[in-house]
Amino acid sequence: MENTLKKYLPERAVPLCFDLVRDYHVHLKIVNERVTRHGDYRRLPNGHHQITVNATLNKYRFLITLVHEVAHLVAFEKYGRNIKPHGLEWKRTFQYLMLPFIRPEIFPSKLLPLLAQHFKNPKASSSTDANLSIALKQFDLVESDKTYVFELPIGSLFRIYNGKLFKKGNKKVKRYECVELETGKMYLFQPNAEVELIND
């Protein structure tokens, strides 16, 4: 397991992650990319704990995702199954588990202030923290041909991963109002949502 983790994690994070996986009896599966999630945690019918993480994540996002999912397991075990998946108990657990990793030996120094800010009140997904998400993207293994919604001019047409077409509207607080062309329905997009620009 330790050799497998070396392929996906920052080198100095491997022993700590190995301890988490071993101590909490996690069955870790590294899977092909899923567009809608970086990872997930499930308690299997036999009582074992399974965590899946996308193989395509860069090593820093892989680390954050793995610890995020272990935090679900630990929070459910400690506080019971009736807590909210991303409620206060999970946030505190995630902060506690992540603390040993937020160090310059593990993360590049330019990510540390963004991580410190993010972990004051961690979100359900690191992708909803636009600043952190954009900073993490610089370390992706494969360069994307996608564009962020915030980079598009108002009125631009774009396609998302499932093929649906949208027209970008105005910013409303933190997110952008975008109309789905087929239905006329309004949707809110995070500024760092990755989309494919459609040139007229």
Residue-range domains of the chain with CATH: 2-137 (3.30.2010), 147-198 (2.30.30.30)
pLDDT band at 128 (very low <50, low <70, confident <90, very high): confident
DSSP bridge pairs for 178: 168, 187
Q: How confident is the model at residue 66 (pLDDT cuts 50, 70, 90)?
A: very high
pLDDT at res. 147:
83
Structure confidence at residue 143 (pLDDT): 65
DSSP 3-state assignment of 95? helix
User: Which of 27-41, 90-104, 131-145, 162-176 is least confident?
Assistant: 131-145
pLDDT band at 144 (very low <50, low <70, confident <90, very high): low
Please, what is the average pLDDT of the chain? Answer: 91
Which of 97, 104, 101 shows the shortest CA–CA distance to 20?
97
Using CA atoms, how far apart are residues 80 and 78, in angstroms rounded to an integer?
Answer: 6
Secondary structure (DSSP) of 70-86: HHHHHHHHHH-TTS-TT
- Per-residue pLDDT at 200 exceeds 70: no
Mean pLDDT of all residues in 41-45: 92
Cβ neighbours of 150 (radius 10 Å): 16
Q: What is the mean pLDDT of residues 185-191?
A: 92
- pLDDT band of 145, cuts 50, 70, 90: low
DSSP single-letter state for residue 159 = E
- Per-residue pLDDT, averaged over 150-166, amounts to 91
DSSP state letters, 29-45: EEES-BTTBSEEEEE-T
